Amino acid sequence: MAEALIVVVIVITTALVFDFTNGFHDSANAMATSVATGAFTPKQAVTVAAILNVFGAFISTEVAKTISSGIVNDQLVTPAVVFAGLTGAILWNLGTWLFGLPSSSSHALFGGLIGAVLASAGLAGINPSVIVSKILLPAVVAPVVAGVTAMFATRIAYWITERDGAHGRFSRPIFKYGQRISASMVAVAHGTSDGQKTMGIITLVLVSSGHQESGTQPYFWVILAAGLAIGLGTYSGGWRIMRTMGRGLVDIDSPQGFAADTSTTTAILASSHLGFGLSTTHVASGSILGSGIGRRTHVRWSTATRMAVAWLLTLPAAGMIGAITALLVGLGTGGLVASLALLVGISGFFFWISLRNRVHAGNVIDSHEVQVASRTREGAHA
Amino acid sequence: MIDVNWRALIEVTLVTFLGGLLVVTIVSLAAALLQSSYLATEAGKARSAFHTLEAWLSIVLFLIVIGIVGFGFYLLVPWWH
């Protein structure tokens, strides 16, 4: 009994850690362009995004009935499988953060769960057609739809406002105000959708361990903990990814930033209300790229290619970590302790590596590159 | 058999494209009109009826955008619908 309770506590703590990584991994989705154009200072951006993430987590308690949306057989999702899936997602999130690569936290979670279920129940536990329709197809569609929209929107914005020779002296502050509003909307939407995932996971674990009745709403402390975890994660910045999205892909000007943010907001609102879910990360990255093409500015295709590779690897990489963790956890208490030690150790190692080239609020827009291997003066003096 | 909700995909694509372009066009037009009105004032020209109309039209366009943003917030908050 005591052992079962310890497992529940470990899984809930791991879920909140995932929620934290989700926050700092995705804060750039809402705020990178606003920071790049100066619509928000870096500290203002993460403060506003964190508050709106927490607000977003509180405005809906419609916890998803299935945490995996049918991608895996939810009957097979035990606390041990959830722990293994979360481990895959956390390590993938931290690895991509270290390299400054925006990748979908939801896809990492799904990948981790798929791997864990494959390891514990075999092929019968997963639904390949749902993987294609809910993960692979949207991953291709999201950046294209948002990118094409942002490209045309950017052209229109410049065509309309740059014709009078004033070079946007009066119109640019208006675009910056617009950016603040659209970025805020993305932050609220992120808190609502991603905060819900952690609430769903914790509620599932509580129900499966007999601490909560099936079909009931999440406890208030679950909503509060999930909201605060994603909010704190967002406040901590995820500056490495913010740099890649704000400076690494294209140089962003305010009309272009407004066009990108508006495309992102419209795509997210449309996808969440018309039944075809799109990843916020893929939408936001596509919008930024599209806006760069629309403005005919220099696009750093090498960074875009690295991002695309990360997107392709998210599912198999998180899945492999999830599968290995599920096999370890399947060995019993010793396996669980070993998995936990590996999770903490590898996370600490990633953090230690990141200190060699620290990216923070003070230097986030100073460069367009996120260094990992070599120590730079910037990192040494941070 | 891969079950893709093609209808939802097409709807999301169209709404994103048309909605995004609509908002950016309205804000850009409002900004350009306001800019034109300010430039005339800055140049020391007497404020003509045309420039007053530009300023008013930009306010109307901003109000339309505020309405669209309000609808967006309405969609974001599940309690309201």
A267/B76 touch (CB, cutoff 8 Å), yes or no: no
Phi, psi of B20 (to 5 degrees): -60, -45
**B78: pLDDT strictly greater than 80:** no
Query: Which positions in chain B touch A255 (Cβ < 8 Å)?
Result: 28
A258/B75 touch (CB, cutoff 8 Å), yes or no: no
SS (H, E, C) chain A: CHHHHHHHHHHHHHHHHHHHHHHHHHHHHHHHHHHHHCCCCHHHHHHHHHHHHHHHHHCCCCCCCCCCCCCECHHHCCHHHHHHHHHHHHHHHHHHHHCCCCCCHHHHHHHHHHHHHHHHHCHHHECHHHHHHHHHHHHHHHHHHHHHHHHHHHHHHHHHHCCCCCCCCCHHHHHHHHHHHHHHHHHHHHHHHHHHHHHHHHHHHHHHCCCCCCCCCCCHHHHHHHHHHHHHHHHCCCHHHHHHHHHHCCCCCHHHHHHHHHHHHHHHHHHHHHCCCCCHHHHHHHHHHHHHHHCCCCCCHHHHHHHHHHHHHHHHHHHHHHHHHHHHHCCCHHHHHHHHHHHHHHHHHHHHHHHHCCCCCCCCCCCCCCCCCCCCHHHHCC
- pLDDT for position A377: 52
Distance CA A36, CA A8 (A): 42
- Find which of A154, A160, A279, A295 to mutate to test the B interface (most B CBs within 10 Å of its CB): A160
**B47: pLDDT strictly greater than 70:** no
Closest chain B C-alpha to A260 CA, distance in angstroms:
9
Name the residue in chain A with its Cα closest to that of B72: A269
Contacts of A360-365 with CB under 8 Å at 24 or more apart are: A360/A237, A360/A239, A361/A42, A361/A43, A361/A46, A361/A237, A361/A239, A362/A42, A364/A35, A364/A42, A364/A237, A364/A239, A364/A242, A364/A243, A364/A246, A364/A247, A365/A35, A365/A36, A365/A42, A365/A243, A365/A246, A365/A247
**B45: pLDDT strictly greater than 70:** no
Asked whether the beta carbons of B16 and A263 are under 8 A apart, the reply is: yes
Among A157, A166, A169, select the one facing B24 at the smallest CB separation: A157
- Residues 303-362, chain A, touching B (beta carbon < 8 A): none
Buried b (16+ CB within 10 A) or exposed e, B8-25: bbebbbebbbebbbbbbb
B20/A263 touch (CB, cutoff 8 Å), yes or no: yes
For the whole model, what pTM was predicted?
0.91
- pLDDT for position A373: 72
Asked whether the beta carbons of A101 and A332 are under 8 A apart, the reply is: no
Cite the DSSP H helix spans in B1-81: 6-42, 49-76
- pLDDT for position B46: 65
A265/B72 touch (CB, cutoff 8 Å), yes or no: yes
A156/B25 touch (CB, cutoff 8 Å), yes or no: yes
- pLDDT for position A368: 86
- pLDDT for position A380: 45
Give me the average pLDDT of each 10-residue run along chain A (382 residues).
85 96 92 95 96 88 60 82 95 96 93 94 88 87 95 95 75 92 90 84 86 86 94 93 94 94 92 82 95 93 95 96 96 92 96 93 90 62 40
Burial class (CB in 10 A: 0-12, 13-18, 19+), B66: exposed
CB contact A141 to B (< 8 Å): yes
- pLDDT for position A178: 93
B32/A160 touch (CB, cutoff 8 Å), yes or no: yes
Residue with tokens 């009078």, as numbered in its chain = A164
- Find which of B4, B12, B81 to mutate to test the A interface (most A CBs within 10 Å of its CB): B12
Asked whether the beta carbons of A203 and A64 are under 8 A apart, the reply is: no
Q: Which of A141, A88, A294, A295 is nearest to B16 (CA)?
A: A141
ipTM (interface pTM)? 0.92
Asked whether the beta carbons of A49 and A234 are under 8 A apart, the reply is: yes
- pLDDT for position A379: 47
Query: Which positions in chain A touch B28 (Cβ < 8 Å)?
Result: 156-157, 160-161, 171, 255
The residues that bridge with A72 in the sheet, in sequence order, are A126
If you count them, how many residues does chain A have?
382
Among A168, A178, A274, select the one facing B8 at the smallest CB separation: A274
The conformation of residue B3, written as its DSSP 8-state character, comes to: -
Name the residue in chain B with its Cα closest to that of A270: B12
Query: Which positions in chain A touch B31 (Cβ < 8 Å)?
Result: 160-161, 170-171, 174-175
Residue A337 CB coordination number (10 Å): 13
Asked whether the beta carbons of A200 and A106 are under 8 A apart, the reply is: no
Distance CA A179, CA B33 (A): 19
Query: Which positions in chain B touch A273 (Cβ < 8 Å)?
Result: 75
Among A62, A149, A258, select the one facing B16 at the smallest CB separation: A149
